[in-house]
Amino acid sequence: MKMRGVLLGTALALALPTAAMAATEGFYVGAGAGVNWTRDADVRNYPSSGFGLEESFKIGGIGDVSAGYATAIGVRAELEFAWRWRNSVDGTESATPALRNLGGKTSSIAFMGNALYDINTGTPFTPYIGLGAGVAEVRQSLRGVSDKDWVFAYQGIVGASYAVTDNVAVTLDYRYFATQDPEFDLGPVTSKGEYRNHTILAGLRYTFGGPSRPAPAASPAPMAPATQAQPQTEYQVFFDWDKATITPVSDKIIGDASAAAGRVRAVSIHVIGHTDTSGTPTYNQRLSLRRAEAVKRALIAKGTPANLVSIEGKGEQQLMVSTGPNVREPSNRRAQILIRVQ
């Protein structure tokens, strides 16, 4: 075993997450499964020469679990455990006839620290890239003799996630995984091999502490200057993240607003759509207008004359709760219904 490589890998695995946790947004856990292709490997005597062969491998599997921390600027840091297995030796080639067509298999377990960056597209679809470093135990079996070695490991990651809800995302990524050359005692000689791997991994990620969804409720009626009670003239309708769909609770509020507009003989109704800051400004402007349009359609469906209703989209310009960029805040995902009376 190369102790220097093990120590270096362990240090990097611990340092990467620590460096990325400067600003926090939420903890998450993930799990995945997929397939791996171990590349052809040269096996040779070490430190002397004279013995050498090339192995080719069949496709194997992979399973992994991870835990990490996400920041508001799109940077994530995580610790990962991965197990690549069932890469049977498909065949061996060597100048020595006795070393041809040998059977065997290889596998590995790895403890990695990964640093990743999520690319905000303003939609549920989020591409990401990343790098990782750590340690891996590589196992090799050949001619019925097996051995293992702990070595420094590294990987590159390219993938994408799709947010099903505020907390749950499905993921799909490609990983190039490789290690320092491991050493194996495979009988009369000590050999040095290679371990390089292509991986396709599908998984699920759950983020804790997602934004709580306050129960949508009508805003308080403005205070009238006289003692006589005045009808409510403003209502608030809330939406799910990245949605312009009227929920059952919101539908009741819209019904109350429509009924109130009829009682007071409203001269106009103005609907203003809003968003949080989790998307791009351009995307959020369109989304806010879609929300205003959805409320207008619901008002008309409940008997409000169409010529009374006008709409406007403010995007992320008028936040109910002040936040930084790229923050999912349920209170900001809303539409105002403003009723003007004579």
Q: Report which of residues 45 and 240 the model is more confident about.
A: 240
Query: Is the separation of the CB atoms in 51 and 45 below 8 Å?
Result: yes
The reported pLDDT for the residue numbered 7 is 44
Segment among 5-14, 121-130, 201-210 with least mean pLDDT: 5-14
Nearest C-alpha neighbor of 58 from the set 75, 24, 35, 80: 35
The reported pLDDT for the residue numbered 204 is 96
The reported pLDDT for the residue numbered 47 is 52
Same domain, 61 and 117: yes
- The values of phi and psi at residue 191, to 5°, are -115, 160
- Asked whether residue 73 is domain-assigned, the answer is yes
Nearest C-alpha neighbor of 276 from the set 315, 238, 250: 315
Nearest C-alpha neighbor of 252 from the set 297, 212, 216: 216
- Asked whether residue 225 is domain-assigned, the answer is no
Same domain, 91 and 175: yes
The reported pLDDT for the residue numbered 6 is 47
Same domain, 200 and 307: no
Q: Could you tell me the maximum CA-CA distance found in the chain, to the nearest angstrom?
A: 104
The reported pLDDT for the residue numbered 143 is 76
Residue 108 three-state SS: strand
Please name the amino acid found at residue 216: P
Same domain, 46 and 112: yes
The reported pLDDT for the residue numbered 212 is 40
The reported pLDDT for the residue numbered 166 is 79
- Asked whether residue 214 is domain-assigned, the answer is no
Q: Is the pLDDT of residue 43 over 70?
A: yes
Same domain, 241 and 322: yes
Confidence class of residue 55 from pLDDT cuts 50, 70 and 90? confident
- Asked whether residue 215 is domain-assigned, the answer is no
Same domain, 180 and 38: yes
Q: Domain residues for 56?
A: 3-207
Query: Is the separation of the CB atoms in 213 and 249 below 8 Å?
Result: no
Q: Is the pLDDT of residue 210 over 90?
A: no
Task: Give the predicted TM-score (pTM) of the model.
Answer: 0.59
Q: Is the pLDDT of residue 196 over 90?
A: yes
Same domain, 200 and 240: no
Tokens of 13: 């695995």
| Tens-place pLDDT, residues 117-158 | 999 887 789 999 999 999 999 998 877 788 899 999 999 999
- Asked whether residue 220 is domain-assigned, the answer is no
Q: Report which of residues 184 and 294 the model is more confident about.
A: 294
Q: Report which of residues 225 and 97 the model is more confident about.
A: 97
Tokens of 196: 């390089």
Tokens of 98: 């006795």
- Asked whether residue 212 is domain-assigned, the answer is no
| Tens-place pLDDT, residues 285-319 | 999 999 999 999 999 999 999 898 999 999 999 99
Nearest C-alpha neighbor of 5 from the set 156, 137, 105, 114: 137
- Asked whether residue 77 is domain-assigned, the answer is yes
The reported pLDDT for the residue numbered 161 is 95
Q: Is the pLDDT of residue 102 over 70?
A: yes
Segment among 16-30, 44-58, 152-166 with least mean pLDDT: 16-30
Average pLDDT over residues 196-206: 96
The reported pLDDT for the residue numbered 105 is 87
Confidence class of residue 11 from pLDDT cuts 50, 70 and 90? very low
Q: Is the dihedral of CA 295, 210, 218, 334 positive or negative?
A: negative
Same domain, 254 and 150: no
Same domain, 195 and 245: no
Task: Tell me how many degrees the CA angle 185-190-193 measures, rounded to the nearest 5.
Answer: 85
Number of domains in the chain: 2
The CATH number of whichever domain residue 35 belongs to comes to: 2.40.160.20
Average pLDDT over residues 7-24: 42
Query: Is the separation of the CB atoms in 274 and 314 below 8 Å?
Result: yes
The CATH number of whichever domain residue 312 belongs to comes to: 3.30.1330.60
Nearest C-alpha neighbor of 208 from the set 25, 9, 336: 25
- Asked whether residue 213 is domain-assigned, the answer is no
> CA-to-CA distance for 33 and 261, rounded, in angstroms?
56
- CA dist list (Å): 121 to 61, 276, 329: 31, 14, 17
Same domain, 253 and 194: no
Average pLDDT over residues 202-230: 58
| Tens-place pLDDT, residues 235-291 | 999 999 989 999 999 999 999 999 988 888 888 999 999 999 988 899 999 999 999
Same domain, 140 and 241: no
Nearest C-alpha neighbor of 263 from the set 236, 230, 295: 230
Segment among 18-27, 45-54, 121-130, 199-208 with least mean pLDDT: 18-27
Confidence class of residue 46 from pLDDT cuts 50, 70 and 90? low
Same domain, 97 and 179: yes
